[in-house]
Amino acid sequence: MSAAIPAMTTVAEPRRIEPPYMPAATTEPTWVRLSLIGIALLFSVLFLLIPLAAVFVEALKKGWEAYAMAIMDDDALSAIRLTLLTAAIAVPANLVFGVAASWAIAKFDFRGKSLLLTLIDLPFSVSPVISGLIYVLLFGAHGWFGAWLLEHDIQILFAVPGIVLATIFVTFPFVARELIPLMQTQGNEEEEAALVLGASGWRTFWHVTLPNIKWGLLYGVILCNARAMGEFGAVSVVSGHIRGETNTMPLQVEILYNEYNFAAAFSVASLLALLALVTLALKTFIESRLDHGEDTDPEEHTK
């Protein structure tokens, strides 16, 4: 008689309770997404692409020969040279200030830190025309320093120095405001490690801090340069509109347009538009580098 084989008992697995379905916050029906994309594209075409294309169409309306003559006009060349000169002075000045200010604000605690941040943001909250009037009140014939400047035969208003000062004021925040949050996010660990390894302050800055902020620095410089070349309001107040002497490219466009010389006006405007496109391309490239980031080794920088 064979022995009875005990039956194997199975343990029931606990029943999994599926969480209730929760639709993602960004999940929308297809028609909603297509509608939003269509509205964005329509807006871009109507308010960006068509006006930009119109500038080049009007500039070339009378042919390449008329376009070249408008660009090679003495007044236009003078405006181009003055615009480049102004940017060549204003951008490096704001570069030096922006790096110094962002280094101080991000790396150190000191009295007046919030005041310095407020002063950096001041040009964002003040109209460019008002900023130009500030220099008129300071350096005009009846301004605070007007009499002293006349006695010493120094001219700031209606000359290159006034244009440069007004441009520096309106482009003041761009480099600093780009670097301050970047340096605050990076912290002080790498600089402290470099100092512990024996690096001097300057060497730490050149080999640790600067490589870490180089793309943010270039981004701020590009924005600063674009604003410097395209500034109109503040420069219009302090320039005096002296043709061939104190007109920058935006002011030259205004004068030509008011004289109904539309082809020449749009020809000069097309140069500013090309500058904007180049700036946009560089900005996009640097944004991609900022998004990907570049890992830096503090020990490598301090070798």
3-state SS, 136-204, equals HHHHCCCCCCHHHHHHCCCCCCCCHHHHHHHHHHHCCHHHHHHHHHHHHHHCCHHHHHHHHCCCCHHHH
Q: How confident is the model at residue 296 (pLDDT cuts 50, 70, 90)?
A: very low
- Res 202 pLDDT > 90: no
Using CA atoms, how far residue 16 sits from 9, 19, 23, 239, in Å, is 21, 9, 21, 77
Instruction: Judge contact between 149 and 214, C-beta under 8 A.
Output: no
Mean pLDDT of the chain: 83
CA dihedral 136, 94, 79, 130 (to 10 degrees): -30
Mean per-residue pLDDT, 242-270:
90
* 3 state SS of 257: helix
Which residues have C-beta within 8 Å of that of residue 283, sequence separation ≥ 6? 219, 222, 223
Indicate if the pLDDT at residue 62 is higher than 90.
no
pTM: 0.77
Residue 115 to residue 228: CA distance in whole angstroms: 25
pLDDT at 16: 64
Work out the pLDDT band at 288, boundaries 50, 70, 90.
Answer: confident
DSSP 45: I
Element (H, E) at 91: helix 74-107
Distance CA 223, CA 278 (A): 11
CA 168 to chain centre: 13
Alpha-carbon gap, residue 98 to 94, rounded angstroms: 6
pLDDT higher than threshold 80 for residue 201: no
Tell whether the model's pLDDT for residue 5 goes beyond 60.
no
Whether 297 has a pLDDT exceeding 80, the answer reads no
- Phi, psi (deg, nearest 5) at residue 216: -65, -35
What is the pLDDT averaged over residues 74-101? 92
Measured distance CA(283)–CA(187) in Å, rounded: 25
Cβ distance 75 to 252 under 8 Å?
A: yes
pLDDT band for position 15 (cuts 50, 70, 90): low
pLDDT in tens, 221-253: 988 998 999 889 899 999 988 888 899 999 999
Separation of alpha carbons 21 and 84, rounded Å: 60
